[in-house]
């Protein structure tokens, strides 16, 4: 029998994620503080927040609940989380394990279908689980052989090395050691670690105090605190405040009762929400986080390193049953960061940030989601991805978005004009524009069907979803006489049944004109006047320039100090890069584009001619369905390049929409009514990522470029002769008169002139 050999393991060599120590004043406003640290955390995807020393909420789980109320556990075979053979038999039923007298199975657990990683285990009280977890850890880490009574108190690093030794290099010796250990504890003769995960607090109990239901009882500060996880999801400023249902794990916290080696595998939060985790008490919890911009890179690395498992189960990452060592991910170029969470501390994960980890011993934690307004674009991206994957949603994104819009408008109409509300309204309007453009293109495809306004209670009692792809139907839906209980989204109106169009009906909650009015009202509110602003990808610098607290005498004095660089010669682009450090006014350093950019455009589809206003200019004919392909910097994986798809969509109002998306990553897209803005937005994303990487010390990055240097016509391909020729063939009769008149003029001026006559 081998003994514990922690030195044989490999602890991942990772940089730590940021740790924050808010003051008592900062800690008062939860969402404001999260917004404050957001620019610092997003490059990491995860952070740790240590509350002020005075913030020590009582934990109700240490009273009678911990001794009397039972919860179910899951069996985790951690030696198979990474190294295992694909097998369909792993989904089969298994025999009920033998357990000791203090451990019992609930009837519900015994009836559950046992999938890999989610086998039902025995039920415990918290006290029983703590005793079991402590004994197993003590026996495993004894200093010598099993008959040696000396003990070893392992450090966090030793436990981490041993965890990854078991996960990465499982062996018969490891299994044999744990087999004997399980027999000693009267457990099943398999390698088992137990985890009390996803315990519903509305059934069990929350560790945080809840607001009293007794009349006239004054609430305590901990009951009303924004950091109380019973409150945080529905704080004012969180989009989830408009969620009426008590969705467990999203707006209602879940409890997690862990033991040494119990693990949570790589995953992102549902709908790419923020998550907030608080440890009530116990041993440390080790987290690993990957920033949201690198999510696709993690997914690719997982599929590359575990091809057989993903071949058998393509949606494996949704199952939360597979680990892959952070060391391997780092070797594949995935940025991974580490957090060690202690008792009384918070861990926050950001949108689309993959995270995983394990426990170093017995502990009790609680977690819930939250959705500040800046989450909205991430949420829209998530539901579009779910639609492609035919995956069910947990919340109605459109319902929350529209509720947020109406709330913002109501507050402004009530003369609430604080900068914070206006800023959040502007963020909502940006998301509303994207949603409006998307909805417009979908309605355009079905404008030949009958339509009527949706009943106000269409989805009040239950969420309505597409019977084909599970997309949420709050905003629009399609129905057919053949299936009165089934509905589809507008994309699948023609595929969910074969009936003729006269039998089908389109349901709209709002006319497009109403949605456009919402948008106009949001965008029409004046922001507080700014005296001076430098245009560039450095918003924090812009704020410093107009903020009196920055120490500047006035915007005019700043303009005078920088006048020689703020008025470049025509055609010479300028960009603010960073302020100069040191005393005196903060002078911006500027750079100029290093060289002209010459994209190589590939025509994918020419499209069809549309003879309506807006579909041609004197510079280009803009066919509906036009599509090209071009390589450009990948803002998710700099300095690598990737392919982008540029296309023109036919909008319901008869005007073209321009879309740019990453090939293979359709959720990474920009849709707008300006052909220039699409590609300038891509360049802004590239610039933002370059600056993040520079601050982290990375070299060999591409230069920053002014977004205005990218011209939409050029990036779409309308200056490439072969593309121009293909598009011109769509209009043999020269019906796009403005374009052809300009073309004729240009041709005339491009003709060679005869030599001057000599007298």
pLDDT band at 653 (very low <50, low <70, confident <90, very high): low
**89 in any annotated domain:** no
State whether 462 and 543 are in the same domain: no
Give the pairing type, strands 476-480 and 15-16: unpaired
47 vs 562, higher pLDDT = 47
586 vs 683, higher pLDDT = 683
436 vs 295, higher pLDDT = 295
pLDDT at 567: 30
pLDDT at 545: 27
Q: Tokens representing 358?
A: 């394990």
**Residue 549 sits in which domain range?**
539-591
State whether 117 and 207 are in the same domain: yes
pLDDT at 94: 36
pLDDT at 691: 87
With a cut of 70, say whether residue 328 has pLDDT above it.
yes
pLDDT at 316: 77
pLDDT at 577: 30
With a cut of 70, say whether residue 216 has pLDDT above it.
no
**Mean local confidence (pLDDT), 221-244:** 92
pLDDT at 148: 55
Give CA–CA dist 530/138, Å, rounded.
64
**47 in any annotated domain:** yes
Q: What is the pLDDT of residues 377-400, one digit of tens each?
A: 888 889 888 988 888 888 998 888
Sign of CA dihedral 291, 294, 299, 304: negative
**530 in any annotated domain:** no
**Mean local confidence (pLDDT), 6-33:** 89
Give all strands of the β-sheet with 656-662 in edge-to-edge order: 602-605, 627-633, 641-650, 656-662, 665-672
State whether 24 and 157 are in the same domain: yes
Q: Which CA distances in Å does 95 have to 76, 85, 630? A: 16, 21, 56
> Strand runs (DSSP E) across 319-457, as ranges?
337-341, 346-349, 354-359, 363-370, 450-453
pLDDT at 412: 54
State whether 40 and 154 are in the same domain: yes
**91 in any annotated domain:** no
pLDDT at 145: 55
pLDDT at 355: 96
Burial class (CB in 10 A: 0-12, 13-18, 19+), 67: exposed
pLDDT at 662: 92
pLDDT at 93: 38
Answer for the pair 623, 657: CB distance below 8 angstroms, yes or no: no
Identify the CATH number of the domain in which residue 715 sits: 3.30.160.360
Give CA–CA dist 12/339, Å, rounded.
12
pLDDT at 275: 97
452 vs 543, higher pLDDT = 452
In the listed set 350, 371, 392, which residue is the last one of a domain according to the structure? 371
Give the HSE-up count for residue 305: Cα atoms under 13 Å, Cβ half-sphere.
22
Give CA–CA dist 653/274, Å, rounded.
36
Spatial neighbors of 481 by CB under 8 A, at least 6 apart, are 499, 503, 504
pLDDT at 474: 87
With a cut of 90, say whether residue 40 has pLDDT above it.
yes
pLDDT at 755: 44
pLDDT at 457: 78
**753 in any annotated domain:** no
In the listed set 591, 611, 626, which residue is the last one of a domain according to the structure? 591
With a cut of 80, say whether residue 539 has pLDDT above it.
no
State whether 212 and 76 are in the same domain: yes
Q: What is the pLDDT of residues 553-575, one digit of tens each?
A: 222 322 232 232 223 333 333 33
Give the pairing type, strands 363-370 and 274-282: antiparallel
With a cut of 80, say whether residue 424 has pLDDT above it.
no
With a cut of 80, say whether residue 244 has pLDDT above it.
yes
- % pLDDT > 90, the chain: 32
**Mean local confidence (pLDDT), 696-710:** 82
With a cut of 90, say whether residue 114 has pLDDT above it.
no
Neighbours of 603 (CB within 10 A): 16
pLDDT at 115: 46
State whether 354 and 387 are in the same domain: no
Q: What region, left, alpha or beta, does residue 754 occupy, with left being phi > 0 and alpha being psi -120 to 50 degrees?
A: beta
Instruction: Name the residue among 249, 255, 140 with its Cα closest to residue 197.
Output: 255
State whether 141 and 240 are in the same domain: yes
pLDDT at 612: 87
pLDDT at 523: 66
State whether 126 and 42 are in the same domain: yes
Q: What's the first-to-final CA gap in the chain, in angstroms?
A: 111
pLDDT at 151: 62
State whether 299 and 353 are in the same domain: yes
608 vs 92, higher pLDDT = 608
State whether 563 and 614 are in the same domain: no
What is the DSSP secondary-structure string of 141-177?
TBSSSTT---B----HHHHHHHHHHHHHS--HHHHHH
**493 in any annotated domain:** yes
Give me the numbers of helices (H) and strands (E) for the chain, helices first please: 20, 24
Mean pLDDT of the chain: 76
**754 in any annotated domain:** no
pLDDT at 177: 55
pLDDT at 568: 31
> Strand runs (DSSP E) across 248-402, as ranges?
254-258, 263-267, 274-282, 285-290, 337-341, 346-349, 354-359, 363-370
pLDDT band at 596 (very low <50, low <70, confident <90, very high): very low
Answer for the pair 478, 497: CB distance below 8 angstroms, yes or no: no
Q: What is the pLDDT of residues 455-486, one digit of tens each?
A: 877 877 777 889 989 988 888 888 888 888 88
Identify the CATH number of the domain in which residue 182 sits: 2.60.120.650
Tally of structural domains, the chain: 4
Give the HSE-up count for residue 701: Cα atoms under 13 Å, Cβ half-sphere.
22
State whether 492 and 621 are in the same domain: no
Range of weakest confidence among 273-287, 313-327, 436-450, 672-686: 436-450
**Mean local confidence (pLDDT), 481-503:** 85
**Mean local confidence (pLDDT), 120-139:** 90
110 vs 371, higher pLDDT = 371
pLDDT band at 259 (very low <50, low <70, confident <90, very high): very high
pLDDT at 238: 93
Give CA–CA dist 746/618, Å, rounded.
11
State whether 68 and 55 are in the same domain: yes
Q: What is the pLDDT of residues 48-67, one digit of tens each?
A: 999 999 999 999 888 777 77
**Mean local confidence (pLDDT), 599-622:** 89
Range of weakest confidence among 268-272, 541-545, 591-595: 541-545
Instruction: Name the residue among 452, 495, 451, 447 with its Cα closest to residue 471.
Output: 495
Which ranges of 52-171 would DSSP assign to H, the alpha helix? 65-68, 107-111, 126-140, 156-168
Q: What is the pLDDT of residues 63-104, one digit of tens each?
A: 777 778 899 998 888 877 776 665 554 443 333 333 333 344
**529 in any annotated domain:** no
**Mean local confidence (pLDDT), 736-750:** 73
């Amino acid at each position: 029998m081998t003994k514990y050999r922690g030195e044989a393991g490999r602890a991942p060599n990772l940089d730590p994620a940021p740790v924050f120590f808010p003051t008592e004043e900062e800690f008062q406003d939860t969402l404001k503080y999260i917004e404050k640290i957001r620019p610092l955390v997003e490059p990491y995807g995860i952070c740790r927040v240590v509350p002020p020393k005075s913030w020590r909420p009582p934990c109700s789980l240490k009273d009678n609940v911990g001794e009397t109320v039972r919860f179910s556990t899951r069996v985790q075979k951690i030696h198979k989380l990474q190294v295992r053979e694909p097998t369909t038999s792993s989904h089969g039923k298994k025999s009920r394990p033998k357990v000791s007298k203090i451990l019992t199975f609930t009837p519900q657990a015994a009836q559950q279908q046992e999938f890999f990683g989610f086998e039902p285990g025995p039920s415990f009280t918290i006290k029983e689980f703590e005793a079991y977890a402590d004994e197993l850890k003590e026996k495993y880490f004894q200093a010598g052989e099993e008959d040696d009574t000396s003990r070893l108190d392992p450090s966090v690093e030793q436990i981490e090395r041993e965890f990854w030794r078991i996960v990465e290099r499982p062996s018969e010796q490891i299994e044999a050691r744990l087999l004997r250990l399980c027999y000693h504890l009267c457990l099943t003769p398999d390698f088992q670690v137990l985890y009390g995960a996803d315990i519903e607090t509305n059934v069990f109990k929350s560790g945080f105090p809840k607001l009293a239901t007794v009349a006239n009882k004054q609430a305590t500060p901990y009951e009303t605190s924004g950091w109380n996880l019973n409150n945080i999801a529905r704080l004012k400023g969180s989009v989830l405040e408009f969620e009426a249902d008590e969705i467990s794990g999203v707006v209602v916290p879940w409890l997690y009762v862990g033991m040494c080696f119990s693990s949570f595998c790589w995953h992102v939060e549902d709908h790419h929400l923020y998550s907030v985790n608080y440890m009530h008490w116990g041993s440390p919890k080790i987290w690993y986080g990957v920033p949201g911009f690198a999510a696709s890179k993690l997914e690719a690395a997982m599929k590359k390193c575990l091809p057989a498992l993903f071949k058998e189960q393509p949606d494996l990452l949704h199952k939360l049953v597979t680990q892959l060592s952070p060391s391997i991910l780092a070797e594949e170029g995935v940025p991974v960061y580490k957090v060690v969470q202690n008792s009384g501390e918070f861990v926050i994960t950001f949108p689309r940030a993959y995270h995983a980890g394990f426990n170093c011993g017995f502990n009790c934690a609680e977690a819930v989601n939250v959705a500040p307004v800046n989450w909205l674009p991430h949420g829209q991206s998530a539901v579009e991805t779910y639609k492609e994957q035919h995956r069910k949603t947990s919340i109605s994104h459109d319902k929350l978005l529209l509720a947020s819009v109406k709330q913002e408008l109501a507050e402004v109409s009530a003369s609430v004009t604080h900068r914070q509300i206006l800023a959040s309204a502007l963020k909502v309007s940006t998301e509303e524009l994207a949603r409006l453009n998307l909805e417009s293109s979908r309605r355009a495809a079905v404008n030949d069907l009958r339509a009527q306004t949706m009943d106000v209670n269409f989805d009040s009692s239950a969420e309505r979803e597409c019977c084909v792809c599970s997309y949420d139907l709050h905003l629009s839906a399609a129905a057919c006489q053949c299936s009165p209980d089934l509905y589809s989204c507008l994309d699948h109106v023609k595929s969910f049944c074969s009936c003729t169009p006269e039998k089908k009906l389109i349901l709209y909650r709002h006319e497009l004109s109403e949605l456009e009015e919402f948008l106009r009202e949001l965008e029409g509110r004046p922001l507080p006047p700014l005296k001076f602003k430098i245009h560039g990808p450095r918003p924090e610098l812009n704020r410093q320039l107009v903020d009196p607290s920055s120490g500047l005498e006035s915007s005019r004095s700043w303009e005078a100090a920088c006048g020689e660089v703020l008025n470049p010669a025509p055609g010479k682009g300028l960009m603010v890069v960073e302020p100069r450090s040191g005393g005196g006014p903060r002078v911006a350093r500027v750079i100029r584009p290093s060289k002209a950019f010459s994209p190589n455009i590939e025509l994918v589809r020419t499209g069809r001619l549309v003879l309506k206003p807006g579909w041609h200019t004197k510079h280009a004919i803009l066919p509906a369905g036009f599509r090209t392909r071009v390589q450009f910097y990948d803002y998710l994986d700099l300095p690598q390049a990737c392919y982008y798809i540029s296309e023109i969509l036919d909008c319901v109002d008869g005007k073209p929409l321009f879309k740019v998306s990453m090939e293979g990553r359709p959720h990474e897209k920009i849709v707008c009514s300006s052909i220039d803005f699409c590609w300038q937005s891509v360049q802004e994303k590239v610039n933002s990522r370059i600056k993040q990487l520079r601050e982290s010390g990375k070299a060999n990055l591409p230069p920053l470029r002014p977004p205005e240097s990218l011209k939409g016509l050029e990036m779409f391909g309308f200056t490439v002769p072969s593309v121009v020729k293909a598009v011109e063939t769509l209009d043999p009769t020269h019906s796009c008169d403005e374009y052809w008149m300009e073309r004729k003029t240009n041709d005339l001026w491009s003709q060679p002139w005869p030599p001057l006559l000599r007298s």
